[in-house]
Structure 1
Amino acid sequence: MGKSPKERAAQLGPGALPGRESDVVWDSQRAGEFMTGRLSDPAVGRPPHPVMPRAQGTAPPARRGGGAPRDRKSAAHRVRIWLPLSLVLLLALAGVQMVRAVPDPVLRTGADASSYTFDGRFDIPWPAKGQGAVQVQGVGGIGTFGDPRPVPTASVAKVMTAYVILQNHPLKKDEAGPEIEVDAKAVADGTAEDESRIEGLSAGAKFSQLDMLKMLMIPSGNNIARLLARWDGGSDSEAAFVQKMNEAAQRLGMKDTVYTDPSGLDAKTVSTAVDQLKLAEAVMKSDAFRPIVTLPNATLKGLSAPLNNNNDDLLLSGLSIKGIKTGSSSAAGGALMWAAYKSVGDKTPLILGTMMDQHADGPDHNALNSLALVKANSKKVIEAVRSALTSVVAVRKGQTVGYVDDGLGGRTPLVATEDLRLIGVAGHKATLALDDGGKALPRSAKSGTKVGRLRLAGVADAPSVPVALERDLAPPSLGSRLIRLG
């Protein structure tokens, strides 16, 4: 027979078992209790398994069975709690999305119809020195040159004087307006040398506002500019009127312009060609002003001599030049603000230009040579621009030009209902934009409904054509309203 466990344990040493059991270490006391029968398994009457020591650094043995059902019950419990809450949250979110205001639809210009560039190239024959700018009615600016720094304006300042007078005392076409009395200062200023003035005036004599404007603009009367400033302000000072000139310049966006006197004789009255172009555009809208500056000469009752325009050679050049004002002084050199017309197709747009800081070489008494220079250089520009103007069809009838954006991803195409014909010069790029005319766009409409116009962007009096829906316009879908993020 083999040896008993006790004997084998005694033979191998305390706490050890032979073979594979040699790794089991027994507690001597518990082993003794087991041998005497005091420690047993109450369920089966067998002694329990020996206590196995756990190696240092190892995790306790995993439990087998019993944990999985409890975990499954916990997971099911969490699902029963969170699923209804999630559904409630989703329904609440959907409700919020549905009651949120739907964005207003807007017009968007398509990439293919955002601009049009005229074929070819056109170079304006600008002079080598000075500065200038040209624009065409319904087209916008087509060219500038020179350093756009403020320079003296000379008598071109009188255009602002006339503009402010007509703003404060409007006249209709051919309307004479109120009588203005000549004061002693205007008479004395009429005798000053080396400046343009109206001579032969008598204190107490009266002229209509229209005739005063003719004396201001045609022969460029400095004394009349000061007289009108005093008349408008109702005092002997011209300061209040000069302030009005600067305020008008600010309203017109003439950021680089400062007026210090109503005549332009003061060299501190400065501006730029681009700024003066803004004034030209504004003043030529006056029905009373335009007829005055087209006159090469005029005869007024109460004056001993006719009025002769310093711009008469250009007015009579056959280039359809209709003004506007010359200026010349030692500080300013020669300056000119001009207006001309050119028929292109069935349109006759107004062409406006300014040229400043033109100084003739050599001696130049009262800047007369510089005045001749600026007129000659301006004439070249006018001739070139008038010859270069052309008309093209930039957008065809039925062409897709953009879309209605419902703000939630929906796009309904728009088409031009007519040909859009533009006027310009070779190389000119015209920027196009859709305009709703300030009216709210419909959220739904039938195909063919006109919802706006396609026009030149940022250009007053620009040509335009109606645009219509290419297909039915529908409100945003339920899905797009639910999933919107913005």
Structure 2
Amino acid sequence: MWDAPRQAPAGGFRPESVRWDAAPGAAHQGAAPHGTAPHTAAPQAGAPQGAAVPVRPVQSGPWEVAVPQAPAPAPPVAEAGKRPKRRGLMIVLVAALVLVVGVVAGQLIRPVPDPTVKLSLASGHVFPGAAPALPWPAVGQSTVYVDGLGTMGSSGGSAPTPTASVAKVMTAFVYLRDHPLATGQSGPVLAVSPQGVAEIPARKRRGESLLGITAGQRLTERKALEALLIISANDLAHELARWDSGGDQPFVAKMNAAARELGMTGTRYTDPSGYDSGTVSTAEDQVKLLRAAMKVPAFTEIVNRRAYVPDDGSPARPGGNVLVGQYGVVGGKTGYTDAAGGNYVFAARRKVGGVPTLILGAVMAQKSPSAQGAVAAAGRLIQAVEGSMTAATLAPKGARVGTVDDGLGGSTPLRAASAVTVVGWPGLRVSVGIQGDPPHQGAAGERVGQVTAGAARVPLVLGSALDEPSYLKRLIRVN
């Protein structure tokens, strides 16, 4: 047995496809007839010319001839492209799911807005009629102010004029600001200075109002302030300046600084008692000062007394503010010098329509032999002002006057804990507002704010339970 050399002859016949080891007699089985060329398979259609083509062996006589076979078909193009498309679709779906989850989580964990209060009433009320005509003094200057409403009227211009002892309101205000005195307490015990005692004879010769301090005398802070404000003791004005600042000039500097802070643009202090005619102010400025002073409890307690009662058992001494206890007057300060004339500042409290109302005023530069000329003029003003005051009820107790807005579309009613009553006088427009800092949650009846109507302050309570916004509202909010 032998193998033919593996060299393709001409005509495309490949010897390596011929095997000579067939069994005897096999050459005649299926042999081609004599003179007929052996059968060979035609090349497969579509095969490139000159390329090797697989052949399938066939037996022809004593050898096997390989017949070319068709190549395996390529996978369909459509099937090959489905997997990448499915993978891309899955990526998009997962990304969308992550985005949705992120948005939902972000909406739910964002802080909810702070609730706010809104007014349901009109923002103002106008009292019908013409403004009242008040009995203003024929000379000097004067002004009347109603706390929470504003100035009711003024007369006489605004030129600075000597204050006389009305300056002691600022002396007490500055001293109490730096040395607070609790309600009902006497405060520290203070010893009068030798300098103050030495000045007494000269002060008596000038006719100043005095307590008459003596060597070694000791006074509590409260008693010193009572002598200052009730009997208008000049000697105590200078003693308070020394106790606070070591002398008149540094204390006067503090008085002027306080005046600037209060917006008293027409005021200048040159001494703590007001005896010096260089200490000047205006009626309007003195009302600004009295408003601030009446917020100090110790001051209001002292100026509401009609007499000074010494600690040593000596007789009581009446004060100059004879209107205390009349027409609702709860305090004030008188002053007089030849240069200043009669001066008086006053505070009166009245209930108008059940609303507590504070009336403040000043009458200055009255041509009278004492401060009583100014006191009398102020008495006429106070009566006229109180007669002109009127009230209007904007909402009864329990009425819905506002809402709590949760910031996401929800609201809870607010109801008035008492009647909303506004005070004023004919021709006046009074603003109505609402204030409050409500919680995120609250029970019905809980106080959460107030309505302001001029001088009136009416508490507001929740009309129903206040709850935080629901999860749905948090999820769909766009703000």
- The two structures have a TM-score, normalised by structure 1, of 0.64
**Residue in structure 1 matched with residue 382 of structure 2 by the alignment:** 382
> Which is worse superposed, 300-309 or 95-104?
300-309
Question: Within the alignment, does 1:133 sit opposite 2:144 as a pair?
Answer: yes
SS at match of 2:363: strand
Counterparts of 1:327 and 1:484, CA distance in 2 = 66
Check conservation: 2:242, 2:248, Cα contact below 8 A.
Answer: yes
Which aligned pairs between 1:72-471 and structure 2 lie closer than 5 A? 100-110=110-120, 112-123=121-132, 125=134, 126-127=136-137, 130-136=141-147, 139-141=148-150, 143-146=152-155, 147-148=157-158, 151-167=161-177, 168=179, 170=181, 172-173=183-184, 175=186, 177-192=188-203, 193-194=205-206, 196-198=208-210, 200-233=212-245, 235=246, 237-249=247-259, 254=264, 257-298=267-308, 300=310, 307-312=317-322, 314-315=323-324, 318-329=326-337, 332-344=340-352, 349-356=357-364, 358-360=365-367, 368-369=368-369, 371-436=371-436, 438=437, 440-442=438-440, 448-450=444-446, 452-456=448-452, 462-469=456-463
> Which is worse superposed, 83-92 or 172-181?
83-92
1:396-440 CA distance string (max 9 Å, x none): 23433222223345444433354223444444443333232x4x4
Consecutive unaligned residues in structure 2, runs of 5 or more:
1-88
Distance 1:300 1:102, change over 3 A: closer
1:227-254 CA distance string (max 9 Å, x none): 2111223x3x223322333454456565
Check conservation: 1:393, 1:421, Cα contact below 8 A.
Answer: yes
How far off is 1:339 after superposition? 2.1
Check conservation: 2:108, 2:474, Cα contact below 8 A.
Answer: no
SS at match of 2:415: strand
Aligned residues: 387
Counterparts of 1:240 and 1:257, CA distance in 2 = 17
- Which amino acid is the alignment partner of residue 211 of structure 1? K
1:282-330 CA distance string (max 9 Å, x none): 4335554445434444464779986443333x348x4343331012345
- Which amino acid is the alignment partner of residue 204 of structure 1? G
Distance 1:305 1:248, change over 3 A: same
Check conservation: 2:131, 2:425, Cα contact below 8 A.
Answer: yes
Counterparts of 1:150 and 1:89, CA distance in 2 = 73
How far off is 1:211 after superposition? 3.3
Whichever of the two has the greater Rg, that structure is 2
How far off is 1:395 after superposition? 1.6
Counterparts of 1:186 and 1:412, CA distance in 2 = 68
How far off is 1:155 after superposition? 1.6
How far off is 1:140 after superposition? 4.2
1:310-356 CA distance string (max 9 Å, x none): 333x348x434333101234554433111233355666644332233
Counterparts of 2:276 and 2:383, CA distance in 1 = 32
Distance 1:271 1:410, change over 3 A: farther
Counterparts of 1:172 and 1:477, CA distance in 2 = 52
Check conservation: 1:184, 1:203, Cα contact below 8 A.
Answer: no
**Residue in structure 1 matched with residue 53 of structure 2 by the alignment:** none
Counterparts of 1:149 and 1:284, CA distance in 2 = 25
1:12-55 CA distance string (max 9 Å, x none): xxxxxxxxxxxxxxxxxxxxxxxxxxxxxxxxxxxxxxxxxxxx
SS at match of 1:342: strand
Distance 1:148 1:396, change over 3 A: farther
**Residue in structure 1 matched with residue 17 of structure 2 by the alignment:** none
Counterparts of 1:292 and 1:335, CA distance in 2 = 19
- Which amino acid is the alignment partner of residue 383 of structure 1? Q
C-alpha RMSD of the superposition = 4.2
1:122-141 CA distance string (max 9 Å, x none): 525134652413224xx543
Counterparts of 1:133 and 1:419, CA distance in 2 = 27
- The two structures have a TM-score, normalised by structure 2, of 0.65
